[in-house]
Amino acid sequence: MNAPIRDFVERYAAGGISRLHMPGHKGRGPLGCEAIDITEVAGADALYEAAGIIAESEANAAALFGTQRTLYATEGSSQCIRAMLYLALTHAPKRAARPVALAGRNAHRAFLTAAALCDFDVDWLWPEADVASPCACTITPEGLARALDAMPDPPFCVYVTSPDYLGGTLDVEALAGVCHARSIPLLVDNAHGAYLKFLPERAHPMELDADMCCDSAHKTLPVLTGGAYLHIHRGADSAFAEGAKRSLALFGSTSPSYLILQSLDRANIELAGDFPPRLADCRARVDALKAQLATRGFEILSSDPMKLTLHTDGSCAAAALRANRAEPEFVDREHVVLMFSPSNDPEDFVRVERALAAPFPFIPASAPRFPPPPRAMTIREAMFAPDEIIPVDRALNRVCASPTAACPPAVAIAVPGERVTKEVMDALLRNDIHEFAVVQDR
């Protein structure tokens, strides 16, 4: 497999060309990457009107992932989330009622900004089981079917997050079956799971019949921060594939990073080469580490293969890791999440073993459930309204103006447009959120 973007940029950098174009560093500077940081010069193609080297590289990625179409993004999964929601919305059957998406409540903040920008409503799928972390949102096929059948009109899409931040995964294939039986597209935020395609088992949403998904390539693949994919399933509506570039352009910068594009392009060679066996080796190391920590008394939560999620005193575990020069991906009161990839050195595993000699005593507590807050206005109305920041203890009955969660993506304590209840206030304070954006009273 070739890397046409990288090859072009390297030739350009070596060509001694006078750069009478952007960027202003002119290929020179202290970072060392300036020579290959270019813009859309002749021959470099254009990301949102790709017909040359970018189109060729994206076709390589589509072949690797087995999709109808795979498109590059340089602004992370956030850009792809907005694009695929826009695609699903604009190609849905026209109805008299306002458009509605049915979504897992642990949706990323980018989902809510898409709701505001595209002006659609959301019916929420709340966790079906008690969970200890706001990151998790259990959704079963049976629960999804009940929710869909209870809606007066079909949603324009169902949207779920899998894997979630703790590494929990949903039965995407079964969820897709429920959706497709009702002619509803399934969209998956797979930001943490780009590598799943390169496991021996079927695990990636494109293998499990989701219609569209986003991958943050930079999270688990050898790609620079910001590199992402928007995938369109082979069996999905062809209109999604045809409109995908325009949709990404709607939410993306007109100056996409060629450093990130080269990184996505160069990754294709690695993914087509030795990445799968290296991934298998890393998986074995992670499994061995999990087994070792389990023998020491740690509670290891079920997760996707490249995550190690400990149910423990998060602060103490994180301090021990940092004392051994190991930085975790995520920490809360009861969890520490470590993310691995084939690029991790063996010494990284040794440091974790050394840091986590014994469990850290703590008192686990499930996140209390509370009734869904009442909706006072649309997400768009709330996010576009004048707002003010007030102490949480003064927020009762006010209308939330900004997405509020313990971390993104997590089960949102309050969503723009919802009215603040006593239960919402208690949940905010329990998560150490003491100030809150509300719509100004008129």
Taking 60 as the threshold, does the pLDDT of residue 406 lie above it? no
For 94, other C-beta atoms within 10 Å of its C-beta total 5
pLDDT, average across residues 140-148: 97
- pLDDT tens digits, residue range 265-281? 999 999 999 999 999 99
pLDDT at 431: 80
Q: Grade residue 405 by pLDDT with cuts at 50, 70 and 90.
A: low
pLDDT, average across residues 374-402: 95
Q: Grade residue 333 by pLDDT with cuts at 50, 70 and 90.
A: confident
Assigned token pair, 358: 């014994």
pLDDT at 416: 96
| Same fold yes or no, 4-272 and 275-355 | no
pLDDT at 96: 83
pLDDT at 292: 97
pLDDT, average across residues 423-433: 87
pLDDT at 410: 75
Q: How far apart are CA 1 and CA 183, in angstroms?
A: 37
Instruction: Return the exposure string of 278-310: e unless at least 16 CB atoms fall within 10 Å of the residue's CB, then b.
Output: bbeebbeebeebbeebeeeebeebebbbbbbbb
Least confident of 108-122, 197-211, 352-366: 352-366
pLDDT at 366: 64
Q: Grade residue 369 by pLDDT with cuts at 50, 70 and 90.
A: confident
Contact 178, 209 (CB under 8 A): no
Q: Grade residue 95 by pLDDT with cuts at 50, 70 and 90.
A: confident
Quick one: fold of 387-439? Molybdopterin biosynthesis moea protein, domain 2 (3.90.105)
Quick one: fold of 275-355? Aspartate Aminotransferase, domain 1 (3.90.1150)
Enter the pTM of the model. Answer: 0.94
pLDDT, average across residues 432-437: 90
Cα of 411 vs its chain's centroid, Å: 14
Question: Does the 4-272 domain belong in CATH 3.40.640.10?
Answer: yes
SS3 state of residue 182: coil
- Domain ranges (residues) in the chain: 4-272, 275-355, 387-439
pLDDT, average across residues 198-221: 98
Q: Grade residue 418 by pLDDT with cuts at 50, 70 and 90.
A: very high
- H or E segment at 88? helix 76-90
Assigned token pair, 41: 């010069």
Amino acid at position 227, single letter = G
pLDDT at 132: 59
Cα torsion for 317, 323, 324, 328, to the nearest 10°? 50
pLDDT at 135: 77
Contact 300, 352 (CB under 8 A): no
Assigned token pair, 284: 């074995």
Pick 96 or 170 by higher pLDDT.
Answer: 170
**Residue 419: CA atoms inside 13 Å, Cβ hemisphere, count?**
8
pLDDT at 408: 60
SS3 state of residue 187: strand
Beta strands at 69-73 and 157-161: parallel, antiparallel or unpaired: unpaired
Taking 60 as the threshold, does the pLDDT of residue 342 lie above it? yes
DSSP-assigned beta bridge partners for residue 332: 335
Taking 90 as the threshold, does the pLDDT of residue 310 lie above it? yes
pLDDT, average across residues 315-321: 97
State how far the alpha carbon of 332 is from the alpha carbons of 113, 136, 307, in Å: 25, 13, 15
- pLDDT tens digits, residue range 62-77? 999 999 999 999 999 9
pLDDT, average across residues 189-207: 98
